[in-house]
Amino acid sequence: MRGQDATLERLRVDQPLEETLTHGPDPLHLAEVFGLDEKTAMRYADSARSLLNQAAEQPLQ
């Protein structure tokens, strides 16, 4: 991974967020799939909701 912009930490953080964006912002699903604490799963779900709302508000080009 040398010379890449992606770090292991970034990949670790992106994986649950990508799962949330793909399968919907369900904190219970995240907690079960990734073994996350409920507060952490809620933060990922909230972040995904925010990103989805931002994307929905963007005009189509």
Q: Residue 11 — pLDDT band, cuts 50, 70, 90? A: low
With the C-alpha atoms ordered 39, 41, 45, 51, is the resulting torsion angle positive or negative?
positive
| Predicted TM-score of the model (pTM) | 0.67
Q: Tell me the domain boundaries of the chain.
A: 20-50
Summarize pLDDT for 15-56 with one digit per residue, the tens: 887 888 788 889 999 999 989 999 999 998 898 888 888 877
CA geometry: angle 5, 53, 46, nearest 5 deg = 70
